Structure 1
Amino acid sequence: MRVVLSTYGSRGDVEPLVALAVRLRGLGAEVRVCAPPDEDFAQRLAGAGVPMVPVGPSARALTTAAKPPTPADLPRRAAQVIAAQFAAVTAAAEGCDALVATGMMPAAAGALSVAEKLGIPSVSVTFQQLTLPSPQRPPLAYPGRPFPPEVTDNRVLWDLDAQSIDALFGEALNTNRASFGLPPVDGVRDYVIGDRPWLATDPVLDPWREPVDLDVVQTGVWTLPDERPLPAELVAFLDAGAPPVYVGFGSMPVRGSADVARVAVDAVRAQGRRVVVARGWAGLAPADDRDDCFTVGEVNHQALFGRVAAVVHHGGAGTTTTAARAGAPQVVVPQAADQPYWAGRVADLGIGAAHDGPTPTFESLSAALGTALGGGTRARATAVAGMVRSDGARVAAELLLDAINRNATSRNAASRLQPPVPARTTRDPRARDRNDRTDLPTSAT
């Protein structure tokens, strides 16, 4: 059995596919991953023994470009990404039994179109629920396309969101589909999501409250145990004193990164703590060479976060989940996209603080650190850590292979895969919400 996993985006879009690929291989499937040609992605997949097919331009180069993209750049970039999907994924998916599409919406639309052309069953996956229409919340606005401030009805806003997505990505998608002999897509967002998308997040951190018109399969977060040892120099630094505070912004291009690094280090020092600074795509670095700071590059976050006093980060889904599983209090300084949502979840669960806005000052970050480093927050974070599941990739792999087998039996080749809902993600509506703060220690700050 052969499966192709396709994505385009940051590390947070690639890492979950590593976990799913490893689990699928453990069940006997042959797997390859289509992803941006960035060296860190290639090394991560190679280390897991998973073949990678490079697709499109470097995600890091696009993300960290000196000049931020303008609204007019989005359709052009989307056209580039979609064309790359059609070119690379078509060859990679030939003869496969299923395709899993995720990543930025135009990339997923291109990959799903390839599956449609080749007659391969497919499934659409998201690693955060904010792209899934729900009457309970508004959609995210695309840069340069704000929603009218007078419109407050969420259903109307989701209709406007669909129109924005069509305006941004529809022409490029349908141009490529026409070249493949495929009919045009009327609504890009609904085409990508389908009737039964998969949500690869943890139900405790990211509870899906079912709307009546979308059947979501929440598998749990896709992750693997990371067995890589921490560098000896980092271990020595950790062993030399009290647990430090980690500061890192992952794949985000933090504007004014030198100032952000300086502010973060000063605020942590003011709390009497040492600092571990992660360079990330922003190239963060301390402003001095004092011995209370240690700078890291690519490192095992699962191991590191278990040894720090708190994690200051951008609020990516992967970093938020890893810190939560480690029981580390968090300070989320959201930069873009879904990150304010994850900041809000951290604050709502009482496992850390949500910073107001993307640019911290000494005063604002000091206040957030005061909350995160409080004993009540640590107790709450420890309690939540015991509730976060780690078997989502296994669940998803078993669901996928089961759906492929059932699909083959029905001979319904070019369709969206329809697995049964995993039993552990169903919810009794009469039961207390697992995120109710009274279910956990009440001493949280």
Structure 2
Amino acid sequence: MIMRVVLSTYGSRGDVEPLAALAVQLRERGAEAVVCAPPDDDFARLLERAGVPLVGAGQAVREMIAEVTRKQGPNVGRRLPLEELQLRARRIVATQYEAVLSALGGSAGPDDVVVGTGLMPAACGARSAADRVGARWVSVRFQPTTLPSPHHRPYPYPGRPLPEGETDNRVLWEYDRETMKVVFGGVFDEHRVGVGLETVDDVREYVFTRQPWLAADPLLAPWPDDAGADAGVDFGVDVVQTGAWILPDRRRLPEDLRAFLDAGEPPVYVGFGSMGMQQELKGPGRLAIEAAREHGRRVVVHAGWAGLGLSDDGDDCLAVGEINQQALFARCAAVVHHGGAGTTTTATRAGAPQVVPQVVDQPYFAARVAELGIGVAHDGPVPSADSLSQALGQALEPGTARRAREVSGLIRTDGTRVAAGLLGVG
């Protein structure tokens, strides 16, 4: 009997592309692998290029972001009321459950597996679908700060801010356990009862499991050896780090981009990926273009979900859409980006110095870039032309470029092979 693996997420491209990478590896080894993900057009095209079937789950993420932004304004994560969050969680739990169950054909063989990640409600729905048919469940995260550890704080949720003044991460992660119960526990149990499953006392532990996978490079995003327990406190996890799941991109760069790259010195890349808070990002995007020009550098601007564009019609800037970042970053003098796990890994592998303005997404990876000496974590939450110019200047220094090239050869590329072996495929 052929082993089937259903890879489930609801999130941005940073969640979908790694699952596509693992699916390719599994299919090459003879397993059946499909991805359950939001039906955004760019996700569909990505999976089609990879030769991986897509089972659409719920509402397209870009549509959801636009809908919530119209109601709540651009700072969605800070303003969404708890009641609205739970309402949307109910929908995501139900649609992800149905998508995963459909991908499994309503039943599972003895070797079938569901691998789940993405937003917590999506992981809840996928876990319930696995339980419903008796499939094995594997929880995966793409960066370490979402997993309980004495070395970092949990993220706050709307309506449940972290206790003011509390600095003990042991206390904060216990608070996070209760937060998960308050925010998602009732929603999860309500759905499970509706589909004939037992309720769960600890939703975080049940969904993440006590042995979650960390699909991140061990140099860029290490999991500390002592992160499972500290001073006798059980953090509830024994993390398995596989390495990053990287999807090789063999697409040729467009003719106009290749001509632009060939016409002068390596440019600076500016792009914020799937981050969709348009007004919050367009300002830093324009400032990054100004900063690059101050250093005499040309610029490649990636529109992304934030809709970044050129500030004028100067011939020193080129706007691009969906592109082979693996090929492009290797020809860039520096990469200014949002700090997502995938973009950080791609830029590091390419040997490109990085600047990560900490207005969005991942201050964790910004800090790691700085600690490794391969770029700069922009200092302060509100960038200016001067502050970005200073950060970019540091990234463009010869020593930073040398260090970036050195570290590029240390990034592992066997993450999907490790994960496939752990799943027992091939």
Could you state the TM-score of these two structures normalised by the residue count of structure 1?
Answer: 0.88
Of 184, 193, 198 in structure 2, the residue corresponding to residue 183 of structure 1 is 198
The residue aligned with 1:14 is 16
The residue aligned with 1:71 is 81
Of 144, 151, 162 in structure 1, the residue corresponding to residue 166 of structure 2 is 151
The count of aligned residue pairs is 402
Provide structure 2 residue ranges, at least 5 long, that are not aligned to the other structure: none
Instruction: Check if 1:353 corresponds to 2:376.
Output: yes
The residue aligned with 1:140 is 155
Separation in 2 of the partners of 1:266 and 1:375? Answer: 21
Matches within 5 A, 1:104-143: 104-143=119-158
What letter corresponds to residue 312 of structure 2 in structure 1?
Answer: D
What letter corresponds to residue 420 of structure 2 in structure 1?
Answer: A
> SS of 1:74's equivalent?
helix
> SS of 1:311's equivalent?
strand
Give the drift of 1:257.
Answer: 3.7
Instruction: Check if 1:5 corresponds to 2:7.
Output: yes
Residue by residue, what CA displacement relative to the aligned partner does 1:400-434 show, whole Å, maximum 9, x if unpaired? 125xx9xxxxxxxxxxxxxxxxxxxxxxxxxxxxx
Contact preservation (8 Å) 1:63, 1:252: no
Separation in 1 of the partners of 2:281 and 2:224? Answer: 37
Residue by residue, what CA displacement relative to the aligned partner does 1:358-392 show, whole Å, maximum 9, x if unpaired? 54210111111011111111111111111001110
- Of the structure 1 ranges 221-230 and 145-154, higher mean CA displacement relative to structure 2 is found in 145-154
Separation in 2 of the partners of 1:20 and 1:258? Answer: 33
What letter corresponds to residue 216 of structure 2 in structure 1?
Answer: T
Separation in 2 of the partners of 1:313 and 1:353? Answer: 11
Contact preservation (8 Å) 1:86, 1:176: no
The residue aligned with 1:261 is 285
Instruction: Check if 1:379 corresponds to 2:402.
Output: yes
Contact preservation (8 Å) 1:308, 1:328: yes
Separation in 2 of the partners of 1:301 and 1:358? Answer: 26
The residue aligned with 1:389 is 412
The residue aligned with 1:442 is none
What letter corresponds to residue 110 of structure 1 in structure 2?
Answer: G
What letter corresponds to residue 81 of structure 2 in structure 1?
Answer: P
Residue by residue, what CA displacement relative to the aligned partner does 1:293-330 show, whole Å, maximum 9, x if unpaired? 00011000000000000000000000000000001000
Separation in 2 of the partners of 1:21 and 1:217? Answer: 19
Of 223, 226, 239 in structure 1, the residue corresponding to residue 246 of structure 2 is 223
Instruction: Check if 1:88 corresponds to 2:99.
Output: yes
Kindly tell me: are residues 267 and 77 of structure 1, through their superposed partners in 2, closer, same or farther at Cα, counting changes over 3 Å?
Answer: same
Contact preservation (8 Å) 1:127, 1:317: yes
Of 328, 352, 355 in structure 2, the residue corresponding to residue 331 of structure 1 is 355
Contact preservation (8 Å) 1:36, 1:55: yes
Matches within 5 A, 1:203-242: 203-210=218-225, 211-212=228-229, 213=234, 214-242=237-265
- Of the structure 1 ranges 356-365 and 230-239, higher mean CA displacement relative to structure 2 is found in 356-365
Instruction: Check if 1:56 corresponds to 2:58.
Output: yes
Contact preservation (8 Å) 1:261, 1:287: no
- Of the structure 1 ranges 5-14 and 213-222, higher mean CA displacement relative to structure 2 is found in 213-222
Of 323, 331, 335 in structure 2, the residue corresponding to residue 307 of structure 1 is 331
The residue aligned with 1:411 is none
Kindly tell me: are residues 171 and 321 of structure 1, through their superposed partners in 2, closer, same or farther at Cα, counting changes over 3 Å?
Answer: same
Instruction: Check if 1:283 corresponds to 2:307.
Output: yes
Separation in 2 of the partners of 1:40 and 1:4? Answer: 20
Matches within 5 A, 1:353-432: 353-401=376-424
Contact preservation (8 Å) 1:353, 1:371: yes
Could you state the TM-score of these two structures normalised by the residue count of structure 2?
Answer: 0.91
Separation in 2 of the partners of 1:6 and 1:389? Answer: 24
What letter corresponds to residue 101 of structure 2 in structure 1?
Answer: T
Q: Say what the alpha-carbon RMSD is for the aligned residues.
A: 1.5
Separation in 2 of the partners of 1:11 and 1:258? Answer: 20
What letter corresponds to residue 302 of structure 2 in structure 1?
Answer: A
What letter corresponds to residue 96 of structure 2 in structure 1?
Answer: Q
Report sequence identity in percent. Answer: 58
